[in-house]
Amino acid sequence: MLTDYLAQRALHSKILLMTHIVIGYPSIEESLRLVDSMVEAGVDLMELQLPFSEPIADGPVIAGANHAALNVGVTVEQCFSFAERVAGKHPIPFLFMSYYNLMYRRGTKQFVRRMAQVGLVGSIVPDLPLEEANEYLQACKQDALAPVFIYSPRTPLDRMVRIAEAAQGFIYCVARSGVTGQRTRFDQDLASYVARCRTATKLPLALGFGVRERKDVAYLEGKVDIAVVGSETLRIIDQQGVDAVSGFIRSLRD
């Protein structure tokens, strides 16, 4: 189980690191090389985003990567093949991050079953609310996958509790309202929000949206279990290329 894996990894690290890529950006082959580089640099788990035309939770950096991948013809089937390849090669867990339209169009049960078949451990579906997730939850249970749900600073405590009852693996806490890639203030307000998240669930907490450098990760140590890095990695790729990513990932823990 994903939670058991996270507990074992936590015995050897103050905080775990999850990275995020958009499959097919800059290309399928470069994405494969990017995964290799991240795993070698010591990431603990990784979310693989399926490119989508309307990525409503994403800011300009990740949205641009989505559109670039679609423009070169990356398909859902290629994403499944990609996931199978990396999950079979590397010892860390991989999750899909997908908007629900892609899952719905293929059939939720069929999509989830395929995720299990290619070796994924779970998925994050940011635009699927708990109230509409019954078919998805049943499919995840049947195929022993972890449905990872999201908290935000505006989520009331009673709703956090209900979400936690349905979630598995971990809870993804977005650090602020808005989309990915914007600046986040790592301050007492964030600490208070994370403390509220802790009262709602015993699941591990991951925090993303705005984690950019070592001091951000250091601030989160002891507050959450997993730091999530997404947009900043893509900025590094855009500015310096895939070869620069390994050093960036290592710098988050050094």
pLDDT tens digits for 181-238? 345 566 788 889 999 999 999 999 999 887 888 999 999 999 999 999 988 899 999 8
Q: pLDDT-based confidence at 177, cuts 50/70/90? A: low
Confidence grade of residue 53 (pLDDT, cut at 50, 70, 90): confident
Helix (H) or strand (E) holding 21: strand 16-22
| List of residues 6+ apart from 219 with CB closer than 8 A | 186
- Closest-CA residue to 225 (of 202, 199, 207, 244): 207
Q: Which H or E run contains 146?
A: strand 146-151
Residue 120: per-residue pLDDT: 98
Q: Note the CATH number of domain 2-251.
A: 3.20.20.70
Note whether 56 and 127 are within 8 A (CB): yes
Q: pLDDT tens across 144-170, in order?
A: 999 999 999 999 999 999 999 999 999
Q: What is the pLDDT at residue 182? A: 47
Peptide bond into 26 cis (omega under 30): yes
- Which of 17-26, 34-43, 198-207, 208-217 comes out lowest in average pLDDT? 208-217
Measured between alpha carbons, how far is 146 from 223 in angstroms, rounded to an integer? 22
HSE-up (13 A, CA, CB side) for residue 124: 23
Mean pLDDT of 54-74: 87
pLDDT at 181 (0 to 100)? 39
Weakest-pLDDT range from 89-93, 120-124, 173-177, 204-208: 173-177
Query: Is 167 buried (19+), middle (13-18) or exposed (0-12) by CB count in 10 A?
Result: buried
% the chain with pLDDT above 90? 82
- For the chain, give the mean pLDDT: 92
Compute and round to an integer the Cα radius of gyration of the chain. 17
Active site residues: 47, 58
Whole-model pTM above 0.95?
Answer: no
> Alpha carbon 2 to chain centroid distance?
13
CA angle 62, 68, 70 (to 5 degrees): 105
Region of 52 on the Ramachandran plot (φ > 0 left; ψ -120 to 50 alpha; else beta): beta
